[in-house]
A and B are shown apart, each in its own frame.
Chain A
Amino acid sequence: MDYIANILFVILLVLGIGYFTRNIRKVIRNIRLGRDIDRSDRKNERWKQMAKIALGQTKMVRRPIAGILHLIVYLGFIIINIEVLEIIIDGVFGTHRVFSFLGSTYNFLIGSFEILAFLVLITVVIFWIRRNIIRLKRFLSPEMKGWPKMDGNVILYFEVVLMLLFLIMNAADFKLQLLETPHYYDPAGVMGSFPISQFIKPQFDNMAVSTIILIERTAWWLHIIGILLFLNYLYFSKHLHIMLAFPNTFFADLNPQGSLDNLEAVTNEVMLMMDPEADPFAAPAEGSEDEEPAKFGASDVTDLNWAQLLNSYTCTECGRCTSECPANQTGKKLSPRKIMMDTRDRLQEVGDNIDKNGSFVDDGKQLLNDYITPEELWACTSCNACVEACPVSISPLSIIIDMRRYLVMEQSAAPTDLNNMMSNIENNGAPWPFNQMDRLNWKDEA
């Protein structure tokens, strides 16, 4: 019966990672519901962009305070995960500090983990204060009520608990080593160095060895359970970005921000209209009869391309976009962050629908109107401030434009003023009602 702990551990690990994998596969499936778009070109530039923006966090630090605090949590998170590897091996094989053969390197590592854990603790407290006491404006928008607001705090509590458990575990372990407790003690000397947890250790001074072991084991188990819970929480949270930021920056649009894509389906029609040779009554090419006529623009998530859908899952809900948006700053309903959150929520809804019914069954809803209103879409100045501000290369603007395209080309539902502007362009080649033949009159005017 000696192996019960090991077996339990393996079961836990398999369940935790299995459930996580299942959900990630759903995310990937949902992203693939999007239209196809080629983002496989210019690989070198893409790797560079990912290294700079996702790994190097160059856009995060444009806001220095938030940027540096985030960097600490991010580094802490990544580096402390090396320790998780040891925990997993120890858990599976019932060993104790299996990497300790690394000697002084090991001591250095454990010491750095502790300091990082401590820094993460402090940072998380500051983050919490920013959200809940200082109440930074960008965390208070209407779209940040309810779950998104909770989510932001839950993750902070998670971090606090995980870091505390890590430190308590180390403190108890340190004490047990000094007490020369079997399994913990190594005659060669103390394994690890404990710059932070040494201050927790005195709490154990008058405790029975069995109690300290109980504390150590409890902290150890809760810590690994916590990590598995955290992993599985990501799927339900804006914190998917800790993984998706990498593919998202890799696949981001590399063209100048000002350039919008030219819809291919439209190009085909325009070329046909402009081509004097083309016979408008010609029979459609073979095989194309039962093809659905292309839908222009987007009214639902499946009309967007997969890169836009990946954008939506990557959004960190940080609100940097919204806080730079001229429309939002002047009281309009538009919030680029909400555009991303709505897209993600609707995509999730469509995905759940598919899970439930095997394939998508019309639920009478769509992204347009049920989530995003035309009023929001028409308030955008296409200024790219949101795109520039986003730390993970998301473009809310591209979704806005695709939805405008649907409104205009499929529904002829542009505001009247814009319809006038467009008929002027169509008839006079200018957005105002002036005759094209008068285009050069300015040269003779006084």
Chain B
Amino acid sequence: MSEALNVPTMAEYMAAGKRPEVLFWVGCAGSFDDRAKKITKAFVKLLHKAKVDFAVLGTEESCTGDPAKRAGNEFLFQMQAVTNIEVLNAYEIKKVVTACPHCFNTLKNEYPALGGTYDVIHHTQFLKSLMEEGRLTVEGGQYKGKRITFHDPCYLGRANNVYEAPRELLRKLEVELTEMKRCKRNGLCCGAGGAQMFKEPEPGNKDVNVERTEDALETKPDIIAAGCPFCNTMMTDGVKSKEKEASIAVMDIAEMIANAQDL
């Protein structure tokens, strides 16, 4: 894929006097992290394919403040939140979709009390609804029959009780879904949350992502499916530490769906 994607911004929409159906909140990882950018692009392709009228904030987007809040810096979090809410409200945003469970959780649960109330959904939920509305069709393609295990992101699962949307999508891909012994509400964290992503772990005898990767490897998967850019990084590193990167891929569900359609 070499051609630039068509990704309209809210500013362009505003200038044209239009309003999109949904705002795609890209998030910091989705904007800057090399691995996560691929997820962003895959999701954008799916949005185009389903003819979704969407826009992004582009350079007007800023960190939701989640890592600052979880690190204890409530001040910085609220500064970020209030700034973002000003932008979102100025564009009269109603519906937000994001591929990052941390952005999802913060926008959905922590912005309303600060004056920012939107209908916020995770990209797996959005893709599921697109399929149900018949706007997006999915076939197994290259993933049909492959052994896949899904790692529940804490901020999608336990934090917000979304367990079924990602699994529903995987079933649509006709994969052989195998669950880890700890899954859904008992799922083990990948180790990135609570701002751990940005620091060295405290002294211990193991890294959390390695422990979690071992759970995943026990299911003998072809692919470890993820729904969060941070989980993706952690699990990818875990697979590398087990020297399994040649045989086991870590992929976001959006990427799998896009690949299955040769997008």
Contacts and interface: CB of A to CB of B under 8 A. Distances in A.
Indicate, yes or no, whether A interacts with B. yes
Interface in B56-99: 56, 58-59, 61-63, 65, 67-76, 78-83
Contact of B69 (A260, A296, A414): A260
A254 to B, nearest CB: 12
A189 interface: no
Contacts of A418: 71, 195, 198-199
B70 A382 contact: yes
Contacts, number: 226
A263 B179 CA distance: 38
A434 interface: yes
Given A256-B159, A262-B110, A426-B76, A437 B201 contact: no
A438 B108 CA distance: 26
Given A326-B211, A384-B154, A401 B70 contact: yes
A370 to B, nearest CB: 19
A440 B105 contact: no
A322 to B, nearest CB: 14
B146 interface: no
B202 A379 contact: yes
B158 A384 contact: yes
Contacts of A329: 188, 208, 211
Interface in A243-292: 255-260, 262-263, 266-267, 269-271, 273-274
Contact of A383 (B40, B105, B158, B200): B158
A392 interface: no
B235 to A, nearest CB: 14
- The winner among A382, A414, A445, A446 for most chain B CB atoms within 10 A is A382
B37 interface: yes
9 contacts: A257-B158, A267-B114, A329-B188, A404-B71, A405-B72, A405-B73, A407-B72, A408-B73, A440-B56
The 7 closest A-B pairs by CB, nearest first: A258-B159, A404-B72, A382-B194, A259-B109, A331-B205, A429-B62, A331-B204
Interface of A: 255-260, 262-263, 266-267, 269-271, 273-274, 296-297, 324, 326-327, 329-334, 375, 378-385, 387-388, 401, 403-409, 414-415, 417-418, 420-422, 425-426, 429-432, 434, 436-446
